[in-house]
Structure 1
Amino acid sequence: MRLNGLDMSRPVGTMGHAPVDDVHARGVMKKASILAIAAVSVIMAVFTVEDATREVFAQGASVKGTGGESFTGCRQCHEPFYTEWSMSPHGTSMTPYTDEFAARALVPPTGEITMGGHAYRLETGTGQGFMLEKGSWAWPAKQYRITHVLGGRDVYYFFTTAEKGRLTALPLAYDIRRKSWIERAAGGISHAEREVRGGETALVFSTACYGCHRDPTSTNYDLKTDSYHTGQPEPGIRCEACHGPTAEHAGIMRAATGGSAPKDLGIIRTGGFTPVRLNEVCAPCHASMSPVTASYVPSEPFFDHFDLVTLEDEGFFPDGRDHGANHTYTSWLMSPCARSGRLDCLHCHTLGGGYRFKERAKANDACLPCHEKTVRAVASHSHHGSLSSGSLCVSCHMPTTSSGTMRRTDHSMLPPTPASSAIYTSPNACITCHGDRGNDWADAWVRTRYRPDYQDPYLRRAELLARARRKDWSRLEETLAYLRFPDRDEVFSASLVRLLGECADASKVKVLLTALHDGSPLVRSSAATSLGAVVTPEVTGELVKAAADPVRIVRIRAASALLHHPRGELPGEKARIVDRATGEYLGSLMVQQDNWVSHVGMGSYFLDQGDARNALMAFETASRLNPGAAVPHVQASIAHARLGDLNKAEAELNAALQIDFEDAPALLTMGLLKNRQGNQREAVAYLKRATKSDPTMAAAAYNLAVITAADRLNEAIAWARKAYELQPDASYGYTLAQLLKQDGQWDESIEVLGRLIGAHPLHADAYLLMGELLEKKGRTADAQAAYRQGLSVKGMPEPDRDRIEKRLKRIR
């Protein structure tokens, strides 16, 4: 036995299920073709270098503006539309702060607002526009000039130009509906990235907001100096967000003669888009997503440029309802109306972001013509009076919920499921209106009036998802059956497929391989990610095929998964396919160079490739960008250990634990380091703290079993049994069987080996140990049967076949 799991030779996965950021536990170091990958990276204009300042950076990967015609340039020919657009929610999503804005939109504050030991006061009079910050000290207050305003429906956020060119959100925000000043954190903005600098959390426009609230904007980020030279050519979202680069179009139209427009206008025209493609134009700004390219052209597929957060994320309740973040596109993909392929965003919304059906008399026209029969008899369908709010389609199918002061409309359009709300505390439309009643009342009301009860299918899939989040695989067969069901939901399927990456049961593999050929790129890419830890020739071959998928996100996830697999001698064309996909993967890591998670991902890649020095520099960059994150320190400790410097490894882990005293990966890695240093007492203490911090951490339990086996066999068996129950990994099961053998519990050892063989039929040592125990029990015929079973397994490596064959010949 040896220390295994997440040991000091392997990067530690600390980000949970994160295919959007691709930071996850890596397998044993892979020997991919570095030269070929580097060549592809140059072609992709993304390559990693080590410079004299010890920085790891990607050249050409920063997000750039499109360099098109200005918004006001479009006004020359499109004055009426420009006027309408400039005052729309989209046109005013980010605007400069002016005296005129303050007089029109803000009620001046009446006094100071205190938070965090500081007092804040707004000065919004003519020629002012600044925020004062005053602490408990006697000297003068700090003064921050308000330069920009973000928002406009529920909340205004205020920004100032801070150090190194950052546009940073000020601590106070304005509640538009209540006309009151509030703490920024109470505004409910939960979908944006935060930076942690100097121990304080800051919302930085250049990192978090520029892609949606001002388009296009060049961040002009310089990684070496960690600074921005942010270009801000126009207020709000401009024409190029939907029409792509406009400079060519402007040139064509200026050169046009004869009073007629040329056939080719040199611009993207959305009039011929399908509903699906129109929805994808809106999706980047209305989704919790992660970009995988440096630019997006509206005519191109969403999943060629972005990955999407799904229900594995805690921002959702297990039944798919939203906690309040910007998850509109994820919810939208669950909508039966969206799945029909007939409904697009512009059916209900104007180009400027307004709602078309505000008038009460026309509210249900939003559901025409598809649901005309239901709309005409809405009272009998809703069981509410025809003139009541309960007979508005959106009241039940698109209820509005709030996170702080921010309101969200549920775009899944699913019916209310109060039974699910009773279990998961998720919102439902019934209680939104009937706040004086409870979920039990609403559940009984629904079950009485709607027969058969439509809630049951939603409850079943929510329970499967909730169990998968907890790594409870007792209903695994039902989960796999759901994924085999032809009409299963795309988002729930992708979510379950992603969560199955944490399941060690081999019965999942066939279903995941099928999902790798699903019609949905979201499902295919999720399957590729979850197959990364399944290292078999069949899976490797299928992932190589996926590296040539027509959709970029699938290729990227396949390339990432293949880092876990031995490349071997791939034929020329297959090697080129994998190298191209790997180049796209590396490029995706450096799209957001100002995002610390990108550098953690790049460092993990270097660790996989055996390049601990470049990995260490990437982790150091991540720590510099976010000093409040423990993850880079944990990963850096592994890089130092690979380089043989255990003292620096320990220092990094101490730094991680100073940030988060109970960080389970840091505690696990420290335990392994202490054991490597020969201090088993401290190793056991740290590993036990890891299991307390994260009771589902099988690796900590397993390593406790290995360490305690020398002198505390009963305790070791208990830890090994816990590890195998948490994660039926082959090494965990085999170690449990060995310990049971040592303790004389041969029958249970044989039983564990039987389960192990069923899940991992290529585990030769399991057949050998089972045969040995059966021989000792005098069951020679059964031992021979076990050896023959091992020899009959297709794909058993020749060296293992030889070992089993020798054992069989010996007892003959």
Structure 2
Amino acid sequence: MHLSRLGVLKMVADNPSQAPGQRESQTRIWQIVGMVAALLCLISPFIYLQRSEYSVKPVIKGAPSFVGSGQCRPCHQEAYAKWKGSHHDLAMDIASEETVLGDFNNVQFVDPYSGAASRFFRKNGDFYVETEGPGGAVGVFKITHTFGVYPNQQYLIPFPGGRLQCLNVGWNAKQSTWYRLPPYEVDGPDDWLHWTKGGQTWNGMCAECHSTKLEKRYDKTTDTYDTRWFEIHVGCEACHGPGSNHVSWANRPVLARPQVENYDLPVNTATIDNQKQIAICAPCHSRRYQLGDNLHDEGEILDKIVPSLLMEGLYYPDGQISEEVYVYGSFVQSKMYQHGVRCSDCHDMHSLKLHKEGNDLCLQCHRAGSYDTPSHHFHKQIHEGKPSKGYLCVKCHMPGRVYMGVDYRPDHSLRVPRPDLSEKIDVPNSCSTSDCHQDKGLAWVNDQYTKWYGKSRKQHYGEILAAGRKQNPEAIDELIGVAEDSLLPAIVRATALALLSRYPQERTIPVYTSALEDGDALLRHTALRNAIHIDPETRLHLLQAKLYDPVKAVRIEAAAGLSGFPLDAINPQHQERFQQILAEYRTAMEYNSDFAPQRYNLGNLAAAIGKGEEAIQLYREALAIDDQFYQAKVNLAMQLNQQGENLKAADLFKQVLEAQPDLHEIAYSLGLLFAEMEEYEQAAYWLGQAADNMPNHSRARYNQALAYLKLEQWENGEMALLKALENKPGNREYFSTLANLYYNFRLTDKARILAEKTLLTQPDHELAKQLLEALSRQ
């Protein structure tokens, strides 16, 4: 019969015939038994773990590899369920009955811009379009992949060379109809922006952000792609990094899991600040160029990409979105970002949906009593008997624009409305949008705004950047102030640095040298790219130091800059490092050499190291990719000029100016080229065009004066010299040339006036003193 320990103890206690000593002895025995049993309970897990299949052994890990989102589902069912069906999940897919949204029932669509007809139909279960193809010829093309899901869906078509091309007719999922996608200004089937050309090639333009572990694999020599992905869509590992080590760790019994950092995931997403979080998002959610495949690992943003600054054509001067720039460049301007707000504070990172709707989203942080009230926003929920959305925070602080024809995207700079800036620098404002008060006029909007919020307005950096874009001479001091203001967003300061390069003056040099030591990599990178007017000796020293920068974009920019120096000018202790980083730069440019700008950069590198013929070839290759990339034409012209082919160079400059008449620096270069060719009439004309449009560029006016003097047009030469001196009154060369002109023609009165006027503002001007002395002896 089986007896429990309690049963035995009860029998002993109930036996009064036992002597007291015997009972005490048996009690001690059972106490010992109890202690042993307790000890066994304590150590049994450790004994259990000594079994070979459960023992905690040293973990020998290699580099983590990708395993796929399906491996995450068993443990992370809630997160997986949110992600499934999200825009990340549906970013790209195989074209099938389940994934294709468009109407392929023999439907025809006529492009309202080009007039080309497209017919969508099915055959043998596959999807086809009959439309204008390469060279303008109509062809039938099979659609193999869907791209996106809502509010629009695009379709991908295989082309030779491993390309997938994005058809320029897409499906409007909002209105269930076909529509023409931008860009609309396509100059025929040979234009780079035509759907069959490089501007619409999925491999280079879109792929890295719609799939996980995308390898572009572009071969520059054959102009072909062998593009591959691990997951066709944006999966879990796109943000968390390759998960093999984590899955291996998770597959162990709970008690057998070793203590590891971040659960053995390579990217920490749980306990990070907003800077580290946006570094995960920015490689896709930004306007940028890549430095290589996205490895989905941690690191600085500029280790992977170089984001665009707030430059003309992409952003309005005040930083509002203009072109399609996505979110990064806007959000990092915001006060929210400056105060630590993260993407995940508003968006669920798996479903991508907002945490809350309406003003409730903002009231997670902002007090309702202060902000969600008519005393703040001055708008009603019911206006003139109709529902109104004017009271919503986003209507004032996140105005948006429509991209891709149907996709409304809010500006994430979360700015205070400034309708006064619309008058000053011609930027949009949230009050005057089409669904608010467009019908009232700007004057009415500003009057209402003043009534509500008063007359006081702080100067906005947009006013300074706008002046810098126009190269206003007086903007230099304010641009320096913006570049040096550590309280402003880094992207704003970097933009000011870039604009300062248009003012090549000595007092900007300390601004650049200071920026090279800034803690923000974007500022260091921008300083390196734009500090080209620093004297060679100082620049050589600065560039060599930056070869050791921890951030990839910065150090390779330093190597590119150093390539323009003779190799023996570089300190021997830096030469090996220079060669290593220069190779890193070349690899980064070759990665993107399917684009004209990077092929152009390779041409610049070849030119810098004295390989002129190679540079010419690379510039021509850049133009073969995109003949509207004028920078390649400019540098090709300069190389042809060095080869003595001046007529070809002049023709290229003229082509650029015909397409881009506002590029006044090119007019200046063309004028100098004609002067070199001794065609002084043409030289004077183009130098005058440059000087008229670049009021702070006195050298253009001075060179125009020299051309007039060569033509013996003395009066024109005199007027040009006076204008040059008016701009740079202390310039010895300008003064000397004009003084000699007066002296040689015995225009003593004019010469005396010149000297006396100069000495009034510059009493120590030696040449003016010498001129007066010479005149007094006559």
What TM-score, normalized to structure 2? 0.77
Alpha carbons of structure 1 residues 773 and 654: separation in structure 2 relative to 1, 3 Å: same
* Matched-pair contact (CA < 8 Å) for 1:620–1:636: yes
CA distance in 2 between counterparts of 1:198 and 1:661 reads 26
Name the CA shift for 1:693/1:430 in 2 (closer, same or farther; >3 Å). Answer: closer
**Number of the residue aligned with 1:368:** 364
Q: Is the 8 A contact 2:637 2:652 kept in 1?
A: no
Aligned counterpart, 2:639? 639
Query: Residue 410 of structure 2 aligns to which amino acid in structure 1?
Result: T
Structure 2 CA distance for aligned equivalents of residues 623 and 492 of structure 1: 32
Partner of 2:303: 304
- Alignment CA distance shift 1:393-1:779 (3 Å): farther
Answer yes or no: is the 8 Å Cα contact 2:640–2:648 preserved in 1.
Answer: no
Quote the offset at 1:258 in angstroms: 6.6
For 1:238-277, what aligned pairs fall within 5 Å after superposition?
238-250=235-247, 256=252, 260-264=256-260, 265-268=263-266, 269-277=268-276
Corresponding residue SS for 2:140:
strand
- Report the CA distance between 1:780 and its aligned residue: 12
Does 2:520 align with 1:523? no
Q: What is the Cα deviation at residue 227 of structure 1?
A: 1.2
Match of 1:514 in 2: 514
CA shift for structure 1 position 161: 0.9
Q: 1:134 Cα shift?
A: 6.0
**Residue equivalent to 2:458:** 456
Report the Cα distance in structure 1 between the residues aligned to 2:594 and 2:481, rounded to whole angstroms: 42
Contact 2:653 2:670 in 1 (8 A): no
Instruction: Describe how 1:176-195 pairs up with structure 2 within 5 A.
Output: 176-185=173-182, 195=192
- Contact 2:194–2:200 (Cα < 8 Å) also in 1: no
Deviation at 1:495, TM superposition (A): 1.0
Q: Which string of whole-angstrom CA distances, capped at 9 and with x for unpartnered residues, describes residues 335-359 of structure 1?
A: 1110112x11111112245222453
Give a deviation string over 1:729-765, Cα, whole Å, max 9, x none.
99xx55533331233255686699999999xxxxxxx
Aligned equivalent of 2:373: 378
Where do 1:389-468 residues align within 5 Å?
389-403=389-403, 404-432=405-433, 433-451=436-454, 453=456, 455-458=457-460, 461-468=461-468
Q: CA deviation at 1:551?
A: 3.3
The answer to whether the Cα contact below 8 Å between 2:172 and 2:179 also exists between their aligned partners in 1 is yes
Distance 1:641 1:572, change over 3 A: same
User: Displacement of 1:332 after TM fit?
Assistant: 0.8
User: Per-residue displacement from partner, 1:388-411 (whole Å, max 9, x unpaired)?
Assistant: 633322222222332442212111
Contact 1:662–1:693 (Cα < 8 Å) also in 2? no
Name whichever of 500-509 and 349-358 sits farther off. Answer: 349-358
Alignment gaps of 5+ in structure 2? 1-62, 383-387, 743-749
Q: Report if aligned partners of 1:75, 1:82 keep a CA contact under 8 Å in 2.
A: yes
**Aligned CA distance change for structure 1 residues 540 and 473 (closer, same or farther; 3 Å):** farther
1:64-213 alignment, distance < 5 Å: 68-75=66-73, 78=76, 81-102=79-100, 104=101, 106=103, 111-114=108-111, 115-123=113-121, 127-133=125-131, 141-185=138-182, 195=192, 202-213=199-210
* Structural mapping, 1:259-658, within 5 Å: 260-264=256-260, 265-268=263-266, 269-341=268-340, 343-352=341-350, 354-360=352-358, 363-369=359-365, 371-372=366-367, 378-385=373-380, 389-403=389-403, 404-432=405-433, 433-451=436-454, 453=456, 455-458=457-460, 461-535=461-535, 537-538=537-538, 540-562=540-562, 573=573, 581-642=581-642, 644=643, 646-647=644-645, 650-651=647-648, 654=651
Report the residue type matching 1:778 in the other structure: E
CA contact (8 A) 2:156 2:166 kept: yes
CA contact (8 A) 2:684 2:705 kept: no
Secondary structure of the corresponding residue to residue 495 of structure 1: helix
Structure 1 residue 701: deviation in Å? 5.0
SS in 2 for 1:457: coil
- Aligned residues of 2:213 and 2:294 also touching (Cα < 8 A): no
Alpha-carbon distance, 1:329 to partner: 0.8
The Cα offsets for residues 24-63 of structure 1, whole Å up to 9 and x where unpaired, read as xxxxxxxxxxxxxxxxxxxxxxxxxxxxxxxxxxxxxxxx
Moved more, 277-286 or 522-531: 522-531
Matched with 1:217 is: 214
Choose between structure 1 and 2 for higher RCO, CA contacts under 8 A separated by at least 6 residues: 1
Letter in 2 for 1:511: V
Q: Distance in 2 between matches of 1:676 and 1:425?
A: 41
Q: Conserved in 1, the CA contact under 8 Å of 2:99 and 2:146?
A: no
1:40 is aligned to none
Separation in structure 2 between the aligned mates of residue 623 and residue 154 of structure 1, nearest angstrom: 35
Q: 2:19 corresponds to which residue? A: none
> How many Å separate the matches in 1 of 2:757 and 2:630?
37
What does the per-residue CA deviation read over 1:99-158, in whole Å, with 9 as the maximum and x for residues that have no partner? 3333x56586854304425222222688252211269x9x99411112222233332222
Q: Does the Cα contact within 8 Å between 1:91 and 1:352 map onto a contact in 2?
A: no
Give, in angstroms, the shift of residue 683 of structure 1.
4.9
Q: 1:431 to 1:608 in 2, by over 3 A?
A: same
Q: Computing the radius of gyration over CA atoms, which structure comes out larger, 1 or 2?
A: 2
Amino acid corresponding to residue 459 of structure 2 in structure 1: P
Deviation per residue, 1:358-396 (Å, 9 max, x gap): 534xx3233423x23656753332233478633322222
Structure 1 residues 629 and 476 mapped into 2: Cα distance closer, same or farther (>3 Å)? Answer: closer
Paired with 2:468 and 2:566, the residues of 1 have a C-alpha distance of 29
SS of the residue aligned with 1:492?
helix
The CA distance in 1 between the partners of 2:326 and 2:225, in whole Å, is: 28
Q: CA-to-partner distance for each residue in 1:454-494, whole Å, 9 max, x for gaps?
A: x4322xx2221111001112232233334444533433221
TM-score (structure 1 length as normaliser): 0.74
Q: Which amino acid aligns with 2:413?
A: S
CA contact (8 A) 2:480 2:508 kept: yes
Residues 483 and 686 of structure 1, relative CA distance in 2, 3 Å threshold: closer
Q: Show the 5 A alignment for 1:741-752.
A: 741-744=739-742, 746=751
Letter aligned with residue 70 of structure 1: G
- 2:103, 2:120 within 8 Å by CA — same for their partners in 1? no
Deviations 1:401-442 (A, max 9, x none): 324422121111111111112334433222232333222222
Shift of 1:554: 3.3
In 2: Cα distance, 1:161 partner to 1:319 partner: 41
Which shifted more, 308-317 or 621-630?
621-630
C-alpha distance in 1 between matches for 2:561 and 2:775:
43
SS in 2 for 1:263: coil
Instruction: Report SS of the residue matched to 2:155.
Output: strand
Distance 1:111 1:588, change over 3 A: closer
Q: Which 5+ residue runs of structure 1 have no aligned equivalent?
A: 1-64, 759-766, 782-812
Partner of 1:51: none
| SS across alignment from 2:216 | coil
In structure 1, distance between residues paired with 2:89 and 2:233: 5
In 2, Cα distance between the equivalents of 1:79 and 1:187? 44
Segment of structure 1 superposing worse, 432-441 or 314-323: 432-441
Q: Structure 1, residues 647-675: CA drift from partner, whole Å, max 9, x if none?
A: 4x644654675687455577665555554
Q: Give the direction of change, closer, same or farther, for the CA distance of 1:359–1:626 in structure 2 (3 Å limit).
A: closer
Distance 1:666 1:567 in 2: 30
How many pairs were matched up? Answer: 686
Matched AA of 1:736: Y
Displacement of 1:600: 0.8
What does residue range 43-54 of structure 1 map to in structure 2 within 5 Å?
none
